[in-house]
Amino acid sequence: MRVRKNIATSDEGFLFNPTTGDSFSTNAIGAEIILLMKKDIPTSEVVDTICEKYDVDKALFERDLEEFTLQLKGNSILE
Amino acid sequence: MEKIRYERPFIIKMNAGLMNKFGTQSVNEPVTHIESVSVKGMLSEYGSPLFVISEKQIRRNYQNAVRIFKTRYPKVQFAWSYKTNYMNAVCRIFHQEGSWAEVVSGFEYEKALGNRMQGNKIIFNGPDKTDQDLIRAAQNNSMIHIDHYDELYSLIRLSEEHDLKPRVAIRVNMDTGIYPKWDRFGFNFENGQAWNALTRIANSDKLDLVGIHCHIGTFMLSPTAYAIAARNLCELAWGVKERFGKMVQYIDLGGGFPSTNTLKGAYLPGTDTVPSIDQFADAITDVILGYGFKQDELPTLILESGRALIDDAGYLLGSVLATKRLSDGRRATIMDFGLNSLFTSLWYDHKISPAQKLGDQTEEMVMFGPLCMNIDVVRESITMPMLQKGDQVVVHKVGAYNMTQWMQFITYRPAIVLIDTENNTHVIRKGEDLKYIEELEQIPEHLV
């Protein structure tokens, strides 16, 4: 799970892919996950960090993260 | 440290294009209470899904409609359309308010009698009346609205055989300029069939012609169509008076007034497009008052409105079973209610609100029911906050037809709770169980 190097991100959740010209927006938690992914840390660490901060069951978040990752891949944001 | 409220992560592609001049619709205000009763409390006490009916709203609707017509016309009588919602508690509220009963089968007729409706205040419509139904209705002095010639001749025969003189009207169908034209019920106005039937009745000493009836359609959006219908019925009544020297006691314009639900495919929501009852009342009463009847011979105006009086008094509460993403990327939410209990989702894009405060972020989704059937779609596209398993929702304006046309299919039908005028809750129909469903089944000897 690595964010493509050319993807521009903002802390507010705005993403821009200069190769395709596509822009995206995410919600706050989505932006936070993408920033964590940019640090190239393992998925388990992303899960732990989010679950510590947000009121969410680990299993539920893992499921949602998997789906989010699929969306990011589908939009060519992840390598 | 208190944790932050969780919301599922999502990403959307931003599309450049023209701005939508209507802006985004705000539909996400949570509905936590119905008539001051907690939605979550009811779901926890009675289970999910759950139909809820507001007695206050029924009475408000009824009193409002009666006021609108009675301030325009001196003799008005409403008759509650049983098929719209024949829960006994609901029928009794309407009867308490002064409404007669309008039934379309022997079964509904028996329900009306069970609800202590006097026989002479029951209007018996519909194409399906057995000889036994007709005899009983005639003996009870009910108003029998004849649907076809076979029924007319059956009634004459039965009246001779049983020495009866039933009070009758005919149902008239006509072209009021709307599509589809409902010509499968009653006698046609334009081709003279209705007049012939009236002549046959008036010439019979076995039948007492008391009224003329029509019901031009359902969810009618054109008051003009009612004006045409009223004029045609007045013309027939006038003809009967001139030809046979008898003034009918009533003109029955039937029902068909719409609720403010949004029909599928409609560009704007029903709240913006549906004419008010005042407009229908104006159209109807202007014609009858202006037709030329003397003041003392004005017929009673009967209305059999159903949907417009009950739809917004009914709610369906339910819960999210699961959420998933479809192969084309669309979000799908699976609810614990579907077409089986919410039959009207075939016709309407029902308004659905979350029952708890959720995040501000919304997403478009398909809302499915729980049935293992591909057709079980509650909303093909709806924008809702980001729902997750266990979240609860309130479906609005479900009081009409759902509690009569619902199907016992795959799962049990839910309980129905009435919130009375003092905000007490009463179960008016229990949720079904296996014992109830299997009560009528029998196992052949060789399979025991």
Residue of B nearest to A29 (CA): B9
> Can you tell me the mean pLDDT for B251-255?
96
Place of tokens 């009346």: B129
> Can you tell me the mean pLDDT for B47-68?
98
Looking at the DSSP assignment, which residues form a beta bridge with residue B170?
A: B146, B212
> Can you tell me the mean pLDDT for B299-325?
97
> Can you tell me the mean pLDDT for B293-309?
96
Across the interface, do A71 and B329 touch by the CB < 8 Å criterion?
A: yes
Residue pair B262/B219 in contact (Cβ under 8 Å)? The answer is no
pLDDT band at B20 (very low <50, low <70, confident <90, very high): low
Look at residue B28 and tell me if it is in a domain: no
Q: How many CB pairs under 8 A join A and B?
A: 63
Residues from chain A that touch B5, judged by Cβ atoms under 8 A, are 54-55
The predicted complex's ipTM stands at 0.94
* CA dist., res. B287 & res. B298, Å (int): 12
The DSSP symbol for B348 reads: B
* CA dist., res. B446 & res. B238, Å (int): 67
Longest distance between any two alpha carbons in chain A, whole Å: 37
* CA dist., res. B80 & res. B82, Å (int): 6
Look at residue B160 and tell me if it is in a domain: yes
Q: How far is A46 from chain B (nearest CA, A)?
A: 13
**The pairing of beta strand B37-38 with beta strand B33-34:** antiparallel
The domain containing residue A19 runs over which residues? 8-74
Residue B296: per-residue pLDDT: 92
Q: Report the candidate in B83, B158, B159 with the shortest Cα–Cα distance to residue B123.
A: B83
Residue B213: per-residue pLDDT: 97
Across the interface, do B9 and A68 touch by the CB < 8 Å criterion?
A: yes
CA of B301: how far to CAs of B58, B74, B76, B79, B150, in Å?
21, 9, 5, 11, 27
**Which CB contacts under 8 angstroms, 24+ apart, belong to B269-277?**
B270/B348, B273/B221, B274/B221, B275/B221, B275/B222, B275/B223, B277/B64, B277/B65, B277/B68, B277/B308
Give the CATH number of the domain where residue B408 resides.
2.40.37.10
Across the interface, do B11 and A56 touch by the CB < 8 Å criterion?
A: no
pLDDT band at B333 (very low <50, low <70, confident <90, very high): very high
If one counts every other C-beta atom within 10 angstroms of the C-beta of residue B70, the result is 15
Q: What is the pLDDT of residues A54-70, one digit of tens each?
A: 999 999 999 999 989 98
* CA dist., res. A6 & res. B80, Å (int): 68
Same domain for B126 and B48: no
pLDDT band at A76 (very low <50, low <70, confident <90, very high): confident
Residues from chain B that touch A26, judged by Cβ atoms under 8 A, are 9-12
Residues from chain A that touch B7, judged by Cβ atoms under 8 A, are 27-29
Sequence-separated (6 or more) residues with CB below 8 Å from residue B245? none
Same domain for B272 and B150: yes
Which residue did the predictor score with more confidence, B352 or A2? B352
Domain total for chain B?
2
Q: How far is A70 from chain B (nearest CA, A)?
A: 10
Across the interface, do A68 and B11 touch by the CB < 8 Å criterion?
A: yes
Look at residue B444 and tell me if it is in a domain: no
* CA dist., res. B309 & res. B306, Å (int): 6
Residue B221: per-residue pLDDT: 87
Residue B16: per-residue pLDDT: 67
pLDDT band at A20 (very low <50, low <70, confident <90, very high): confident
Look at residue A50 and tell me if it is in a domain: yes
Residue A44: per-residue pLDDT: 92
Q: What is the pLDDT of residues B98-128, one digit of tens each?
A: 999 999 999 999 999 999 999 999 999 999 9
Look at residue A79 and tell me if it is in a domain: no
Q: What is the pLDDT of residues B217-250, one digit of tens each?
A: 888 889 999 999 999 999 999 999 999 999 999 9
Last residue of a domain, one of B258, B287, B309: B309
* CA dist., res. B51 & res. B28, Å (int): 21
* CA dist., res. B22 & res. B5, Å (int): 31
DSSP-assigned states of every residue in B278-319: HHHHHHHHHHHHTTT--GGGPPEEEE---HHHHGGGEEEEEE
Residue B360: per-residue pLDDT: 79
CB-CB: which of B5, B9, B359 is closest to A26? B9
> Can you tell me the mean pLDDT for B89-101?
98
Look at residue B410 and tell me if it is in a domain: yes
Look at residue A57 and tell me if it is in a domain: yes
CB-CB: which of B4, B5, B13 is closest to A75? B13
> Can you tell me the mean pLDDT for B14-24?
64
Q: Is the pLDDT of residue B441 over 60?
A: yes
C-alpha B168, offset from chain centre: 25
* CA dist., res. B43 & res. B34, Å (int): 12
Residue B101: per-residue pLDDT: 98
Look at residue B21 and tell me if it is in a domain: no
Which residue did the predictor score with more confidence, B135 or B373? B135
Residue B102: per-residue pLDDT: 98
* CA dist., res. B124 & res. B142, Å (int): 7
Q: How many residues does chain A have?
A: 79
Q: How far is A56 from chain B (nearest CA, A)?
A: 6
Q: How far is A44 from chain B (nearest CA, A)?
A: 16
Same domain for B319 and B296: no
Across the interface, do A70 and B388 touch by the CB < 8 Å criterion?
A: no
Task: Give me B354's structure tokens.
Answer: 């979350």
Q: How far is B9 from chain A (nearest CA, A)?
A: 4
Look at residue A22 and tell me if it is in a domain: yes
Give the CATH number of the domain where residue B152 resides.
3.20.20.10
Site from B8, B358, B365 to mutate, A interface, most A CB atoms within 10 angstroms: B8
Look at residue B406 and tell me if it is in a domain: yes
Domain total for chain A?
1
**A20 CB near a chain B CB, below 8 Å?**
no
Residue pair B251/B234 in contact (Cβ under 8 Å)? The answer is yes
Residue B141: per-residue pLDDT: 98
Same domain for B403 and B280: no
pLDDT band at B21 (very low <50, low <70, confident <90, very high): low
Look at residue B208 and tell me if it is in a domain: yes
**The pairing of beta strand A54-55 with beta strand B4-5:** parallel
Same domain for B354 and B241: no
Q: Is the pLDDT of residue B271 over 90?
A: no
CB-CB: which of A22, A30, A54 is closest to B10? A30
* CA dist., res. A62 & res. B95, Å (int): 56
Which segment, A11-15, A56-60, B333-337, is predicted with the most confidence on average? B333-337
* CA dist., res. B442 & res. B448, Å (int): 10
Residue pair B362/B273 in contact (Cβ under 8 Å)? The answer is no
Residue pair A9/A38 in contact (Cβ under 8 Å)? The answer is yes
Same domain for B190 and B119: yes
pLDDT band at B25 (very low <50, low <70, confident <90, very high): low
Residue B376: per-residue pLDDT: 96
Residue pair B316/B341 in contact (Cβ under 8 Å)? The answer is yes
Q: Is the pLDDT of residue B42 over 60?
A: yes
CB-CB: which of B3, B12, B325 is closest to A25? B12
Q: What is the model's pTM? A: 0.90
Q: What is the pLDDT of residues B177-226, one digit of tens each?
A: 888 888 889 999 999 999 999 999 999 999 999 999 999 988 888 999 99
Q: Is the pLDDT of residue B23 over 60?
A: no
Look at residue B228 and tell me if it is in a domain: yes
Residue B15: per-residue pLDDT: 76
Q: What is the pLDDT of residues B357-414, one digit of tens each?
A: 888 788 889 999 999 999 999 999 999 998 989 999 999 999 999 999 999 999 999 9
CB-CB: which of B5, B11, B359 is closest to A72? B11
Q: How far is B3 from chain A (nearest CA, A)?
A: 5
The domain containing residue B100 runs over which residues? 55-309
Across the interface, do A28 and B7 touch by the CB < 8 Å criterion?
A: yes
Q: Report the candidate in B448, B222, B430, B315 with the shortest Cα–Cα distance to residue B35.
A: B315
* CA dist., res. B242 & res. B264, Å (int): 46
**A26 CB near a chain B CB, below 8 Å?**
yes
- State percent of chain B over pLDDT 90: 84
Q: Which residues of B touch A (CB under 8 A)?
A: 3-14, 325, 329, 359, 361, 388-389
**A8 CB near a chain B CB, below 8 Å?**
no
Q: Is B334 helix (H, G, I), strand (E, B) or coil?
A: strand
Residue B79: per-residue pLDDT: 98
Across the interface, do B5 and A67 touch by the CB < 8 Å criterion?
A: no
